[in-house]
Amino acid sequence: MTLVKVQGIVQLYREKPQVKITRIRNVSNEDGVSLTDFIRAAPIGSAELLEVIYRVIESISDPVIRDIVSFCVDKVSEKLAHYPAAKMHHHAYFAGLAYHIVRMLEIGEFLCKQRAFLKEDMIKAGIILHDIAKPEEMIAQLGVVTDYSVQGKLIGHIAMAAGWITEVALRLELPLDSQQVIGLQHLILSHHNLGEWGSPVQPQTAEAVALHHIDALDAKLQMAEDALNATSDKELWTQPVRGLENKALYRMSL
Amino acid sequence: MTLVKVQGIVQLYREKPQVKITRIRNVSNEDGVSLTDFIRAAPIGSAELLEVIYRVIESISDPVIRDIVSFCVDKVSEKLAHYPAAKMHHHAYFAGLAYHIVRMLEIGEFLCKQRAFLKEDMIKAGIILHDIAKPEEMIAQLGVVTDYSVQGKLIGHIAMAAGWITEVALRLELPLDSQQVIGLQHLILSHHNLGEWGSPVQPQTAEAVALHHIDALDAKLQMAEDALNATSDKELWTQPVRGLENKALYRMSL
Amino acid sequence: MTLVKVQGIVQLYREKPQVKITRIRNVSNEDGVSLTDFIRAAPIGSAELLEVIYRVIESISDPVIRDIVSFCVDKVSEKLAHYPAAKMHHHAYFAGLAYHIVRMLEIGEFLCKQRAFLKEDMIKAGIILHDIAKPEEMIAQLGVVTDYSVQGKLIGHIAMAAGWITEVALRLELPLDSQQVIGLQHLILSHHNLGEWGSPVQPQTAEAVALHHIDALDAKLQMAEDALNATSDKELWTQPVRGLENKALYRMSL
Amino acid sequence: MTLVKVQGIVQLYREKPQVKITRIRNVSNEDGVSLTDFIRAAPIGSAELLEVIYRVIESISDPVIRDIVSFCVDKVSEKLAHYPAAKMHHHAYFAGLAYHIVRMLEIGEFLCKQRAFLKEDMIKAGIILHDIAKPEEMIAQLGVVTDYSVQGKLIGHIAMAAGWITEVALRLELPLDSQQVIGLQHLILSHHNLGEWGSPVQPQTAEAVALHHIDALDAKLQMAEDALNATSDKELWTQPVRGLENKALYRMSL
Amino acid sequence: MTLVKVQGIVQLYREKPQVKITRIRNVSNEDGVSLTDFIRAAPIGSAELLEVIYRVIESISDPVIRDIVSFCVDKVSEKLAHYPAAKMHHHAYFAGLAYHIVRMLEIGEFLCKQRAFLKEDMIKAGIILHDIAKPEEMIAQLGVVTDYSVQGKLIGHIAMAAGWITEVALRLELPLDSQQVIGLQHLILSHHNLGEWGSPVQPQTAEAVALHHIDALDAKLQMAEDALNATSDKELWTQPVRGLENKALYRMSL
Amino acid sequence: MTLVKVQGIVQLYREKPQVKITRIRNVSNEDGVSLTDFIRAAPIGSAELLEVIYRVIESISDPVIRDIVSFCVDKVSEKLAHYPAAKMHHHAYFAGLAYHIVRMLEIGEFLCKQRAFLKEDMIKAGIILHDIAKPEEMIAQLGVVTDYSVQGKLIGHIAMAAGWITEVALRLELPLDSQQVIGLQHLILSHHNLGEWGSPVQPQTAEAVALHHIDALDAKLQMAEDALNATSDKELWTQPVRGLENKALYRMSL
């Protein structure tokens, strides 16, 4: 995938405009443009996002948890640089998933400072892993999901990610019933909170409770921010936002 | 766990009967009694049930599917000889799980004959595997579930069994994205049909559709049969049955 | 309604193809074609289906039950030869209702062998009667439902069929509170299982529990089979199937 | 069932009071007491209630509708003199059903005057018939329901009453598809409004819409009135009322 | 807004008809037409409707209640002369809201006569106030709602009207915790009955229970009447009515 | 309410222990005990909590918003020093409400730093006001709710607090349709998010979306923390927590 520079003439064909291309070449550095100038993208560059994620992984104290997280992130590291977090619901743009993770990590860091009883390693790991199989669940290009993979439909990203924990445990010869393995699988499996939202078990550790609400908070606030950004300053109301009870948002003038 | 023969005298203590034991010894063969004379148990002996299950496993044509099923059954073979299928819902007695599997296999065999488009290997495997992690999800003795295990609560038998497929695939070096691995995981993950009933994905193969309905048919009919058996012939109505919309059943006199 | 043979010339009119008919005549035997060559139809001929149904009626031991079933079937015998089982949901084609009944009878026969406590007469009768008023509820031609009748909308096929039992009981001077009359009405009234699915009472006999699940099993498997048949072998996924939680089905390559 | 006059001495037995009867005789006219002095009963005597109902039946213009209503009321006329309208929900006392009907008839009469487009015969008939099978659905004495009949459980009062219309139509040789027969069956079948509330079809005539809301209005207001009457004037709040979203009612001091 | 008389010629433009206006002038008295000849309107003139409402306000005995009602009606008196009661649901035409209030007042008057325990002042006031903020919630012209106001969306007519009671209490120096203020606010807040229908509290006075059901009865019957009126006499079925479970209504021929 | 020091002898009465008091006096400073030693209380003293709240109020830039918040807090300032946030759900202890507000303010402050598009004044005000009427909705002593007030039941704390905004606006002569008044009322009215959870309108400003999720996050995490604190370190599982889908929490050993 690459950017091209095109020169052409616009003509009318059967009453619709049509571009007749006269010259075409690949974009060069001198053009000073990049892919994210032309598509919706996270407000932070993906290199920077990945750097934050890797730095947080390094900061995990428990070596077993750190290894598990590293293994799973490595599986999708290339796609993590550009995949959206969802098809339409939220963060549906270039590097949306990485941006979602980084913002959640900031909230998680704050909450662990605010409430000492939360286990920070589990919060960090849970945030990085909760949607880690989404790049294998969805098929996306330029931040746009075009379809779901066969595994994505038949297994789903939640059970896929839980399976990756099993895989890494076996490869690294970690006991499948260790607190780390069970604890991380529980975080992934329960993070949608309810069965009707896709979680086969409900949150049963403090960190699982936290993870679900950090996820919801970040996703909903991002939907609000993106809807307002997508609306002209002169408009008082955004378009209806599906993930916000299908309500339009009002732009207050304070 | 063993049976003992007790001799004693019944006395009243604080207006309640009390047995004062005078002699006690282990049961011997001459006593001609067995454990299932004293507890609720499946109507077929557990040895016979396991034999059927193993015979069906042998009959699976696809060697990969056969290996996966064998591996999972071996994990719980000892418990499969006596575990119930659930705490209260259905088949809640000694060897209830094995009995549930065997009856479902009979229905599955019939349906595959009736409808050639169903893949028989998948139906057999799905039936044997759908609840295969229940003995690790629950803690039971003598057919009575006393509690759930930590893994049972945090992971749940559905995700546990899906993880076992991942495990066997890695141990046997099967591709994790092979049709057999994905297909069997899908059968397990979807067999509760809806998210609110515990399935993170919904049935999306013909065999998954069949598995859910074979499971429901067998469980509901067994609840009906057990409720009627637990009711004196003179009673027209059974107790209310929770799994049957909490309705009592009427015994017709035809 | 009849088949005709047409000869004509295809022309373009306002950019759309149009057939200009030059000759037309009724189909004769020599043409070797029949109606079901041109419309969606059950895979078994309707004569054969009706024969099976009548044979099962004959096999009902209890003469009262047999008479009730005969009376109801006679009411719609002509339409039973070609009516679909539903407008869109399942078996929505020529002779779909008779085909649905015959397949359910096969499952019922198997289950009665498997579980002796089920009353076979009631299972047979319940299967034949459960949708017996549908040909009066719907208006169909060539296997396609075009509308619902006034009675179909205001009374519904469930209460209509229950009324037919009242009618035959009065005509044959059977007591309205006999086990046969009450039992069969209960089977019909409860076979949708829940109030929100149209049943004013919930299953409260073992046979009513069985009937609902036999109905669901056959309808869902047929939806799956029909969806796969309607999809080219080269396609991995069918169209979404409304009755299967609106999910598309995956064609496994095993 | 009869009233007796008892004379006795109250003694303590195992710390609980006990009456030792010394004299007992049937109540005589001179005692000046009647059954409804001792049990919860409708505020209007049952003779008067029945008289109103019969007078309204006489006032129905359409002879076919009048005959159908008469036939159904005659089936339960004796029980209608004392049956409650429900086990607990509303009008759960002596002659509660007749009282419910009479009050609804008053509302119906008012509405037909207010809105000329409503067909008064259908409104009158629908009100009298909507719960007419309840005395055969429930087993009651002295205004207290002790159980449901077998038919009450397996068929339910809604389908039972619809069946009675079929019965009278056959006995009086009325066409089963006449507007009167279909119209009245629709009123009965749809009067609970939704499937989950027990109606197999939803209201589809103006009179059916009216019947449901007249029924709800009368039942809810009676619950409110009965709850306030059952509460001491000094209490600001009644007990929670199940049928009113389980809310207690506040007694305003205006 | 005014009516004009237009004279013109109909021509075809790009195959669609077009009116070329040749003369245009304001309507004069001699034309003998009025606005409601051309738009959907309540069957009673708005002057007459307002007169009834003001007369009922005068008849309220409690001066505090009367003052509160007057204050609120004065806030919207001009709009009350022509506003509809809803965008689409019911009474969606010129003066629909006033017509809805008047019809409910008739029902309320009847019920207070039928059941002496209901406090008539509260019933009258509750009926007049229950939707009184709708003209500020919606933006309407000629009986057609084109949008909702900012306050309408962010506060909603229920909380707006409750706020008006607070406002009048403060302006008239009535205690905010008086029975009249609390009682009327409760009537407004609870009249949608359930949280999912928009009421933050559920009915907890007899009058609140009555108000909800009077509202429902009038709205549903009006939907039925309007649907039948909008359907040609030759048609047996109306269009589906959204507020009546999306069912079409059948026109009986009795 | 005061603490007393008691001296006595424990005796058995009817097999139950009983304290026979021999001396009793008020607690003096030398005893070195305070009320919160004996009851469940927030981990931070109420004086300190109130100080934080008042400091945040001072920091609000918009003078109108600041005045509105001050007015509402002044209404309940005494009760805010000790009231719980709910009867059972969460923060059900001495000064629980003030503690809930303070923790939410910390989260709010963090989020406003993280996302510049959020209006900090509205976030601060919304957090302080969202439950501000709870001390008038509930009747509590020593951190335990014993009942709800009449206004609490009939109006509810959400509509009560919205009414307080109307009140302050009128007293301070602020326009009732100003952005501050409407915006704050919207925050209060929508903060339960859904109608079935008590909100008559759904969040329609970014700050309202944020407020709901900050509230949920703090309440759920506090439930988790309190449940773990109330469980002995030796126990792996807490009691089931109603607000966490009635699940017990697992104490991980990492």
What's the CA gap between F32 and F13, in Å, rounded?
33
Q: For residue D152, which residues of chain B lie inside 8 Å, CB to CB? A: none
Question: Across the interface, do E155 and F162 touch by the CB < 8 Å criterion?
Answer: yes
Question: Across the interface, do B206 and C225 touch by the CB < 8 Å criterion?
Answer: yes
Residue A156 lies in a domain: yes
Contact between A56 and A110 (Cβ < 8 Å): no
Q: Which residues have a Cβ under 8 Å from the Cβ of F61 and sit 6 or more positions away?
A: F120, F121
B23 DSSP assignment: E
Return the structure tokens found at A1.
Answer: 């995938």
Q: Which residues have a Cβ under 8 Å from the Cβ of D15 and sit 6 or more positions away?
A: none
Residue F249 lies in a domain: no
Residues of F contacting chain E (CB within 8 angstroms): 150-151, 153-156, 158-159, 162-163, 166-167, 170-171, 176-177, 182-183, 185-186, 189, 194-201, 204-205
pLDDT band at F47 (very low <50, low <70, confident <90, very high): very high
Query: How many of the other CB atoms lie within 10 Å of CB of E155?
Result: 27
Of A179, A209, A217, the CB nearest to F254: A179
Q: Which residues pair with B17 in a beta bridge?
A: B12
Q: What is the pLDDT of residues A63-120, one digit of tens each?
A: 999 999 999 999 999 999 999 999 988 999 999 999 999 999 999 999 999 999 999 9
What SS3 state is found at B60? coil
What's the CA gap between B129 and B161, in Å, rounded?
7
E166, E176, E188, E211, best to mutate vs chain F, most F CBs in 10 Å: E166
Question: Across the interface, do C210 and B228 touch by the CB < 8 Å criterion?
Answer: no
CA distances from C41 to C215, C223, C227, C241, E206 (A): 20, 14, 14, 19, 59
This model of the complex carries an ipTM of 0.92
> Terminal CA-to-CA distance of chain A, rounded, Å?
44
* Angle (nearest 5°) at CA A30 between A29 and A33: 65
Residue D171 amino acid letter: R
Question: Across the interface, do C155 and D189 touch by the CB < 8 Å criterion?
Answer: yes
The residue with tokens 């909702």 is E148
Question: Across the interface, do B159 and A198 touch by the CB < 8 Å criterion?
Answer: no
What is the three-state SS of C141-181?
ECCEEEEECHHHHHCHHHHHHHHHHHHHHHHCCCCCCCHHH
Pairing outcome for strands E16-26 and A144-148: unpaired
Pairing outcome for strands E4-13 and D138-141: unpaired
Picking from A210, A179, A182, A191, the residue whose alpha carbon sits closest to that of residue A117 is: A210
Residue D254 lies in a domain: no
E44, E113, E117, E204, best to mutate vs chain D, most D CBs in 10 Å: E204
Residues of B contacting chain F (CB within 8 angstroms): 150, 153-154
Of D167, D189, D195, the CB nearest to C166: D167
**Would you give per-residue pLDDT tens digits along chain E (254 residues)?**
678 899 999 888 877 888 889 999 998 888 888 878 888 999 999 999 999 999 999 999 999 999 999 999 999 999 999 999 999 889 999 999 999 999 999 999 999 999 999 999 999 999 999 999 999 999 998 888 999 999 999 999 999 999 999 999 999 999 999 999 999 999 999 999 999 999 999 999 999 999 999 999 999 999 999 999 999 999 999 999 999 999 999 999 88
- Phi, psi for residue E241 in degrees, rounded to 5: -110, 115
CB pairs under 8 A between E and F: 97
What's the CA gap between E27 and B123, in Å, rounded?
79
Q: For residue A153, which residues of chain C lie inside 8 Å, CB to CB? A: 248, 250
Q: Is chain E in touch with chain B: ≥3 Cβ pairs within 8 A?
A: no
Which chain F residue has the Cα nearest residue A61? F254
What's the CA gap between D82 and C217, in Å, rounded?
47
Do B10 and B135 share a structural domain? Answer: no
- In this predicted structure, what is the pLDDT of residue E1? 64
Residue E172 amino acid letter: L
Q: What is the pLDDT of residues B194-243, one digit of tens each?
A: 999 999 999 999 999 999 999 999 999 999 999 999 999 999 999 999 99
CA distances from E127 to D106, E169, E215, F156 (A): 21, 19, 8, 21
Residue C252 lies in a domain: no
Return the structure tokens found at F183.
Answer: 């915006």
Q: What is the pLDDT of residues D119-156, one digit of tens each?
A: 999 999 999 999 999 999 999 988 889 999 999 999 99
Return the structure tokens found at B155.
Answer: 């992971």
**Would you give per-residue pLDDT tens digits along chain A (254 residues)?**
678 899 999 888 877 888 899 999 999 888 888 878 888 999 999 999 999 999 999 999 999 999 999 999 999 999 999 999 999 889 999 999 999 999 999 999 999 999 999 999 999 999 999 999 999 999 998 888 999 999 999 999 999 999 999 999 999 999 999 999 999 999 999 999 999 999 999 999 999 999 999 999 999 999 999 999 999 999 999 999 999 999 999 999 88
Contact between F241 and F248 (Cβ < 8 Å): yes
Residue F224 lies in a domain: yes
Do D67 and D12 share a structural domain? Answer: no
Residue F115 burial class via C-beta count within 10 angstroms: exposed 0-12, middle 13-18, buried 19 and up: middle
Residue C1 pLDDT exceeds 70: no
Residue D1 pLDDT exceeds 80: no
What's the CA gap between F131 and F129, in Å, rounded?
6
| Predicted TM-score (pTM) of this structure | 0.93
Q: Is chain B in touch with chain D: ≥3 Cβ pairs within 8 A?
A: yes
Do E198 and E89 share a structural domain? Answer: yes
Identify the chains in contact with F, defined as 3+ C-beta pairs within 8 A.
A, B, D, E
Do C215 and C125 share a structural domain? Answer: yes
Dmax (CA) for chain F in angstroms is: 69
Q: Which residues pair with C140 in a beta bridge?
A: C145
Residue F1 pLDDT exceeds 70: no
Residue B249 lies in a domain: no
Residue D251 lies in a domain: no
CA distances from F124 to F64, F78, F118 (A): 13, 21, 11
Number of domains comprising chain F: 2
Return the structure tokens found at F246.
Answer: 């009635």
Name the CA dihedral angle for D186, D189, D190, D195, rounded to a multiple of 10 degrees: -140
Return the structure tokens found at C41.
Answer: 């139809």
Q: Which residues pair with C25 in a beta bridge?
A: C5
Of B121, B209, B214, the CB nearest to C224: B209
Q: For residue F236, which residues of chain B lie inside 8 Å, CB to CB? A: 150
Question: Across the interface, do E162 and F171 touch by the CB < 8 Å criterion?
Answer: no
**H helices present in A18-129, as ranges:** 46-59, 63-75, 77-80, 96-114, 120-129
Residue B209 amino acid letter: V
Picking from F21, F242, C106, the residue whose alpha carbon sits closest to that of residue B113 is: C106
Contact between A54 and A101 (Cβ < 8 Å): no
Length of chain C, in residues: 254
Contact between A85 and A137 (Cβ < 8 Å): no
Q: Which domain does D5 fall in, by range?
A: 1-33
Q: For residue F153, which residues of chain D lie inside 8 Å, CB to CB? A: 248, 250
Do A115 and A183 share a structural domain? Answer: yes
Q: What is the pLDDT of residues F128-141, one digit of tens each?
A: 999 999 999 999 98
Do A101 and A80 share a structural domain? Answer: yes
Do C118 and C95 share a structural domain? Answer: yes
Do C206 and C84 share a structural domain? Answer: yes
Q: For residue B14, which residues of chain F lie inside 8 Å, CB to CB? A: none
Contact between F155 and E201 (Cβ < 8 Å): yes
What SS3 state is found at D16? strand
State the average pLDDT over residues B57-86.
Answer: 97
Contact between E165 and F196 (Cβ < 8 Å): no
Do B27 and B66 share a structural domain? Answer: no
Q: Which residues pair with F25 in a beta bridge?
A: F5
Question: Across the interface, do B236 and D153 touch by the CB < 8 Å criterion?
Answer: no
Nearest CA-CA distance, residue A40 and chain B, Å = 30
Identify the chains in contact with D, defined as 3+ C-beta pairs within 8 A.
B, C, E, F
Residue E251 lies in a domain: no
Q: Is chain C in touch with chain D: ≥3 Cβ pairs within 8 A?
A: yes
Do C44 and C165 share a structural domain? Answer: yes
Q: Which residues pair with E147 in a beta bridge?
A: E139
Do C83 and C29 share a structural domain? Answer: no
Identify the chains in contact with E, defined as 3+ C-beta pairs within 8 A.
A, C, D, F
Residue F150 pLDDT exceeds 70: yes
Residue D244 pLDDT exceeds 70: yes
Residue B1 pLDDT exceeds 70: no
What's the CA gap between E80 and E46, in Å, rounded?
8
Picking from E58, E60, E44, the residue whose alpha carbon sits closest to that of residue E101 is: E44
Q: At what angle do helices F179-190 and F120-129 cross, to 10 degrees?
A: 50
Question: Across the interface, do A201 and B166 touch by the CB < 8 Å criterion?
Answer: no
Residues of E contacting chain C (CB within 8 angstroms): 236, 248, 250
Q: Which residues pair with F4 in a beta bridge?
A: F26
Picking from A111, A115, A142, the residue whose alpha carbon sits closest to that of residue A127 is: A111
Q: Which residues have a Cβ under 8 Å from the Cβ of B30 and sit 6 or more positions away?
A: none
What is the three-state SS of F57-122?
HHHCCCHHHHHHHHHHHHHHHHHHCCCCCCCCCCCCCECHHHHHHHHHHHHHHHHHHHCCCCCHHH
Contact between D179 and D121 (Cβ < 8 Å): no
Do E83 and E14 share a structural domain? Answer: no
